[in-house]
Structure 1
Amino acid sequence: MSGGAGKKVLGVTLGVLTAIGGFVDIGDLVANSQAGARFGTRLLWVVVLGVIGICVFAEMAGRVVAVSHRPVFDLIRERLGARMAMVTLVGSYLVTLLTLGAELGGVAIALHLATSVNYLLWVPVVAFVLWVVLWRVKFDTLEQVFGLMGLALIVFVVAAFALNTDWSKVGGELTAAPPDTENWMTYGYFAVALFASALTPYEVFFFSSGGVEERWNRSDLVTSRVNVFVGFPLGGLLAIAIMVCSSVVFEPAMVNVSNVSQAVLPVAIGLGKIGLAVVILGVFAVTFGAAMETGLSAGYTVAQYFGWQWGKSVAPKRDARFHTVILVSIVIGAVMLLTTLDPVQITEYSLIFSAVVLPLTYLPILLVANDREYLGDQVNGKIRNALGVLFLIIILIAAIAAIPLLIITGAGK
């Protein structure tokens, strides 16, 4: 393989890292496992819908970066004004901060599974290592190493076949009502959470800022689209495989899933100790990758709003405020965990709050993608706009329903 071709192939890891951080982080591991255990594969359609939605808007975000050479949040402030952008900033930052804390906990839990040392003892170590990595390691190294390591979770796909899954049952449940043991409100709660997990705001902020870090231009439009249409569907495939494995192992026994050790159990049952070792590696990779993604996104959004120097390609001493935001965010996330808050529950709540702020993220992207001042001849066509409006309506419905469903169902209990 030539150097140019190799670089293009490795370039896809930005989409892979973004996707696994969005679809298969600590909360999504448990959320998809819970959905599989309680509803079988009846919510699989939500994952597919979420994949299509994030592809629609991530393609717009990537195109905006390639043509304007500016990240999405930078243009949101310019397009909507400082006050409206501040609302978006506060909402997305708080959700990102919650998710960052949960991902730190996820890495610590993966290390606990590998060593049996209490996960809380790992939290300060993980937080310190994350800060050093984000401070010192180059962006392309981060995305390539953790994007590719995260592919270890393909073991869930292998396990789905090793468990002798009844695929006709999977197909038959796609349009089925909730099982007799569940109600429509709980079904709706999990649907909103799974949908929000696919379109979490930090995903597009990270993806578009990563495009700036990699200096995308018009000639990189194909690379951007390959990132979108390979990375995000791959993340969705892994999420579906987790749900399928859980439905095979837990639903018949009517066992609810509440932690990561249960979420990885189907792989151990289907593939034995080797499968368990691989899945623990995958959990470590995706949670650490998601922690990097959320840590960087916290710095990106704040720095871009205030017009500070930012980016991994800039020497830390030249963008000290950007790195300070990252450090403070990591410290807050670690302190949150050390209060013994459950990292899984933190992420589940962050998904619901994420659903509430989704319109503030995706409406501006749709507006910018139609602005010829920024995109010239690369503005949205009729099909892209139709898809964008359709998903924006779905996003609004999810945002309106999120908090009432959280309260009525007691967070899906």
Structure 2
Amino acid sequence: MKRLFAVALGILTAIGGFLDAGDLVTNAVVGSRFGLSLAWVVVVGVVGICVFANMSGRVAAVSSRATFEIIRERLGPRVGAANLLASFAVTLLTLTAEVGGIALALQLASSVEPRLWMPVAALAVWLVLWRVKFKVMENVTGLLGLTLVGFAVAVFLLGPDWGDLTASLAPTSAPGSESVAVYWYFAIALFGAAMTPYEVFFFSSGGVEERWTVKDLATTRLNVLIGFPFGGILSIAIAACAAIVLLPLGVQVDSMSQIVLPVALAGGTLLLAVVILGIVAATFGAALETALSSGYTISQYFGWSWGKFRRPARAARFHLTMIIALLLALGILATNVDPIAVTEYSVVFSAVALPLTYLPVLVVANDPEYMGKHVNGRVTNLLGTVYLVLILVASLAAIPLMIITEAGA
């Protein structure tokens, strides 16, 4: 039973990483335009985030220090600063998308204008960060987010032609009127959504919050191998719902209501209510993760006291950083920018920032000074190197493809 509850961090990371606003929107958009022909990208992303999250969690368990803290010490302030600027900018953009996502989900439940929900959502996130213990936060948000399994239930209730649905999993070229450039633009967006930088920083810092040691290495692997693949499966289920209902109608997703339309058609009001609860929990959990990650990275770089295991008075600058990040997110949303558009841009810019995040993780995980006998093995290093090449290619291609395709228009 203790091991089961320990997996909650992995579940929260999966829901807040794979199933945040970025993944909800991107998978629904891709499903409505390409069917399941890009599901292979989700699989590639799952394997990649498992490889690097396992490294990051192992670093935290062996050294009892967060990955970002060691990156600055091991690679120096200049590399650390480049990593900090890139990751913080993407994390802030992602936090903005998550606060907007909470508001859009609450609009589905209440029909109240989302702009009225945005300050409420930000305030609720701050209150949880300020007052709720880390373990309670991760368990409650993670378990409520499990209701997103309603998307998988909806796939079965819709009664698709399973032969056709399975055949559509083939990684074919862009279907119909979609260009090859648009196909690869959304492939990179999916990849960025799966491997957003804040995930590894949250995962390792969460391990320090949980006081992981070498004895907990099995728990870290369990978190990774259950949490992230579970998030990947539900991501594909979201795309499948859109592929079954929206693709034949030629409807392209540009609102939260369109994302849940297949669920409503499949299971009616009850299943819709369950899924909306899951979306609120997922976006709220992601907002907690991204806000915490902003505090973690800034505090760890400058050597400030940090962590929810410390009272706010003993980690004042850590909490102040999170407050400022939430206020900046609200300021961006106050410009009346479309939260869906922010979400789509956030996953693409995540892909751009990936090299600055994952190369340092690989370096630290191979340093015997910090890791002792727990440095990476040959297989892990081979996978890490292969993914670094993929990450670099995705990073270099993201902006040109965004320009060429006009952000997938």
TM-score range, shorter chain: over 0.9
AA in 2 matched with 1:168: G
How far did residue 180 of structure 1 move?
A: 2.0
Query: Which residue is 1:411 aligned to?
Result: 407
Matches within 5 A, 1:160-175: 160-173=155-168, 174-175=170-171
AA in 2 matched with 1:109: L
182-191 or 169-178: bigger deviation = 169-178
Gaps in structure 2 of 5+ consecutive residues: none
Matches within 5 A, 1:5-24: 5=1, 7-24=2-19
How far did residue 286 of structure 1 move?
A: 0.2
Residue deviations 1:18-72, cap 9 Å, x none? 1111111122211101100100100000001000000011111111111011111
In the alignment, structure 1 residue 346 sits paired with structure 2 residue 342: yes
Residue deviations 1:276-307, cap 9 Å, x none? 10011011000000000000000000000000
In the alignment, structure 1 residue 107 sits paired with structure 2 residue 85: no
2:28 maps to which of 16, 30, 33:
33
AA in 2 matched with 1:341: V
Query: Which residue is 2:116 aligned to?
Result: 121
Supply the distance in 2 between the matched residues of 1:110 and 1:342 (Cα, whole angstroms): 14
Number of residue pairs matched by the alignment: 408
AA in 1 matched with 2:96: G
Query: Which residue is 1:187 aligned to?
Result: 183
1:272 maps to which of 265, 268, 275:
268
Query: Which residue is 1:151 aligned to?
Result: 146
Contact 2:25 2:343 in 1 (8 A): no
In the alignment, structure 1 residue 98 sits paired with structure 2 residue 93: yes
Matches within 5 A, 1:212-227: 212-227=208-223
Supply the distance in 1 between the matched residues of 2:134 and 2:5 (Cα, whole angstroms): 12
Contact 2:22 2:346 in 1 (8 A): no
Supply the distance in 1 between the matched residues of 2:39 and 2:296 (Cα, whole angstroms): 32
1:296 maps to which of 292, 298, 304:
292
Supply the distance in 1 between the matched residues of 2:15 and 2:164 (Cα, whole angstroms): 27
Query: Which residue is 1:363 aligned to?
Result: 359
Contact 2:97 2:346 in 1 (8 A): no
In the alignment, structure 1 residue 324 sits paired with structure 2 residue 316: no
Supply the distance in 2 between the matched residues of 1:394 and 1:291 (Cα, whole angstroms): 27
Contact 2:353 2:395 in 1 (8 A): yes
Residue deviations 1:309-333, cap 9 Å, x none? 0000001001100000000000110
Contact 2:97 2:339 in 1 (8 A): yes
Contact 2:23 2:194 in 1 (8 A): no
AA in 2 matched with 1:92: S
Gaps in structure 1 of 5+ consecutive residues: none
Residue deviations 1:202-250, cap 9 Å, x none? 0000000000000000110011000000000011011000001100001
Contact 2:27 2:238 in 1 (8 A): yes
How far did residue 274 of structure 1 move?
A: 0.5
Supply the distance in 2 between the matched residues of 1:130 and 1:218 (Cα, whole angstroms): 32
Supply the distance in 1 between the matched residues of 2:89 and 2:406 (Cα, whole angstroms): 21
TM-score of the superposition, structure 1-length normalised? Answer: 0.98
Supply the distance in 2 between the matched residues of 1:304 and 1:246 (Cα, whole angstroms): 41
Supply the distance in 1 between the matched residues of 2:402 and 2:171 (Cα, whole angstroms): 24
Q: Which runs of 4+ in 1 moved over 3 A?
A: none
**Secondary structure in 2 matching 1:251:** helix
Query: Which residue is 1:64 aligned to?
Result: 59
Cα RMSD between the aligned structures? Answer: 0.8
**Secondary structure in 2 matching 1:264:** helix
TM-score of the superposition, structure 2-length normalised? Answer: 0.99
AA in 1 matched with 2:232: G
Contact 1:27 1:102 in 2 (8 A): yes
Residue deviations 1:148-203, cap 9 Å, x none? 10000000011111111223223322232211211110000000000011110000
